[in-house]
Amino acid sequence: TIIVQDHGIGIEPEAMERIFNPFEQGERSLKRRFGGLGLGLAISKSLAEAHAATLTATSEGLNRGATFKLTIKTSALVAHDGAISLPVEGQPSKALRILLVDDHVDTCTVMGKLLAACPMEVAWN
């Protein structure tokens, strides 16, 4: 189980049942303080369920923070029979290729530079 707790804006009780719906955001007014499409939690929950896991949220209300809990069943984990060997440092492996995609240019640049230092082929722009 992974638990992430914050002390942020919290979630209104009436919004709790819809926060995992696509395109939903906690604040529905036209004067929203926060951006985004409202897809993050919907995608996170879908990914969790695709891996036989559960993602839940709790909050005591506005300005009380929120707690998100990801529970992964250990039986759903794939066991391997030994150590994983990585390529020799400095020699990119053809088997390890990463395509980095992000709509935020600065994030993509930083992540691209960090991943480029790893022994794998990284494509980003």
For the beta carbon of residue 52, count every other beta carbon within 10 angstroms: 12
Each residue's pLDDT tens digit, 14-45: 888 899 999 887 655 555 566 677 888 999 99
Band (pLDDT 50/70/90 cuts) for residue 95 is low
The token pair at 49 is 């369920």
What pLDDT, on the 0 to 100 scale, is given for residue 19? 92
Q: Domains (ranges, CATH) in the chain?
A: 2-75 (3.30.565.10), 89-125 (no CATH)
